[in-house]
Structure 1
């Protein structure tokens, strides 16, 4: 049979603050399924917040946990899956996403600042949040685009509007 897809119904990628978890939960409710967030899986596994993993063991250790969490979630989860902002940095993860229904939630820096705030405990934005966010996005946007089946802008839009567009572009049936 052609077109059979195992794994998640939708995978959401994009920067911190793009709304992956919020939109993911809305999509899951609409599709009658569950939403899983790999950042949450990592926190559960490690038994501490991501910011502490960065401080205690460093980013390479966190990225190893992230690759494992993504691999497991892609293999096990059939609902909506939200990946951490940096998950696409791993070539192995990008390979695993090939052929999956991936939506890149894109936004500009002004929207990110509004949503994430400048004092949020985001380990990669500790010094100059606006500048660092731009640099992260300059590095990551090509990777998000590479893995994406569709790109959906989230600027100035409600999570419901974003979820609606995702359902339309992926032609998903609502329950």
Structure 2
């Protein structure tokens, strides 16, 4: 029981760190300080304007129905325009699965017993934590990769000094997810 409780505490910390990293705006600033890229928006510093990554950036595209949005997605300049949509949806999926893992972990701790139902809840919690780890790694890996494929920064190398503290918080959250996964895996092996 104490291992599951420890894993649950680490999962709470990882979830809060990941949510903080995704919502804070300091992910990447171009070397010439003109473009700042975040998970959900891309901003130009001079003049200051931001565009949301999940909607079209062209003024001549009007989206009124879901069919218009699907047509927009089909006609994207792949892979350049897909990276921002991919990183935003991966971040949303990671946060959702992490919250589901917290729910399962709380349920397991609340009903702790040796019946088969508790073991299945523990296994589902372990799976959710593993998926959260993979998706959180996906978010920072895509953010690193995105900057090589964008034409707005005119750079061909990734410089770590251009990335802000949000990237490093997310990498720390990935480490906490992995640690929580190991704790839950040990607990599952011990009780199953």
Q: Does the alignment reach a TM-score above 0.5?
A: no
Relative to its length, the structure with more helix (as a share) is 2
Q: Indicate the structure (1 or 2) with the bigger Cα radius of gyration.
A: 2
Structure 2 length normalisation: TM-score? 0.28
